[in-house]
A and B are shown apart, each in its own frame.
Chain A
């Protein structure tokens, strides 16, 4: 069974800092990995999608990397802003689990002004 964990569970940083969020998965037979942000009381907003054949994806101040062999992905946020405060979730699309995406529990980020 695919299991996804995210470390840390919560993170508080001052504005302007660069930071890294971690996502780990137990089964490396994946076809993609997607990072989302979720604001309180809202749905999930897609940030970055990495296919299994890719090593990283970039969008603005965000960079996501994927290391399938070690079962890890990281989301790097450069020059953090208070508007980045949200919960960040990763979701893994696994070959052996039909069309299901397995989500991690999320990292709750607070960027202090």
Chain B
């Protein structure tokens, strides 16, 4: 595609519900990142994929967070039993080549947990 696409753009969940956020990266991009951004702060790293392999998940805040990229293209970030502190914007970025390539971001998914 022309750019990184994320859906849904906005999600309101009741505390305890499960949510799934989708990222469709730029076609052919090898690397895919998920970031969490709180209001007024810079993005915080969650996890990284190279093709279908999840090479780094050190930023996932708890075992309620799970990400996958089964065919090396579309990725899904799943949050189980959502809590109020999970409210944030979740940003997806893709990169054509490892390490030195430019990062391209989607518009983000804004999650509000009530």
Distance in angstroms between the alpha carbons of A91 and B110 in the assembled complex: 21
Chain B residue with minimal CB distance to A91? B103
Most buried by A among B91, B98, B99: B99
A104 to chain B, nearest CB (A): 5
A110 to chain B, nearest CB (A): 15
Report whether B42 and A99 are in contact in the complex, using a CB–CB cutoff of 8 Å: no
Distance in angstroms between the alpha carbons of A90 and B113 in the assembled complex: 29
Chain A residue with minimal CB distance to B4? A43
Instruction: Say if the beta carbon of B108 comes within 8 Å of chain A.
Output: yes
Sort chain B's interface into a size bin: 20 to 34
Of B4, B40, B43, B55, which one neighbours A103 at CB under 8 angstroms? B43
Report whether B48 and A43 are in contact in the complex, using a CB–CB cutoff of 8 Å: no
Residues of chain B from 32 to 73 with CB closer than 8 A to chain A in the complex: 33, 35, 40-45, 48, 50, 55-56, 58-59
Report whether B48 and A46 are in contact in the complex, using a CB–CB cutoff of 8 Å: no
Instruction: Say if the beta carbon of B102 comes within 8 Å of chain A.
Output: yes
Over the window 77-114 of chain B, the binary record of Cβ atoms lying under 8 Å from chain A Cβ atoms (1 yes, 0 no) is: 00000000000000101000011101111111010000
A49: chain B residues at CB < 8 Å are 102
B108: chain A residues at CB < 8 Å are 42-43
Instruction: Say if the beta carbon of B31 comes within 8 Å of chain A.
Output: yes
B38 to chain A, nearest CB (A): 10
Distance in angstroms between the alpha carbons of A44 and B106 in the assembled complex: 7
B50: chain A residues at CB < 8 Å are 99
A104: chain B residues at CB < 8 Å are 42
Chain A residue with minimal CB distance to B95? A99
A31: chain B residues at CB < 8 Å are 99-100
Question: Which of B's residues lie within 8 Å of A, judged by CB?
Answer: 4, 6, 31, 33, 35, 40-45, 48, 50, 55-56, 58-59, 91, 93, 98-100, 102-108, 110
4 further A-B contacts with Cβ under 8 Å, apart from A99-B55, A99-B56, are A34-B103, A44-B91, A99-B31, A102-B45
Question: Which of A's residues lie within 8 Å of B, judged by CB?
Answer: 4, 31-32, 34, 36, 41-46, 49, 51, 89, 91, 93, 98-106
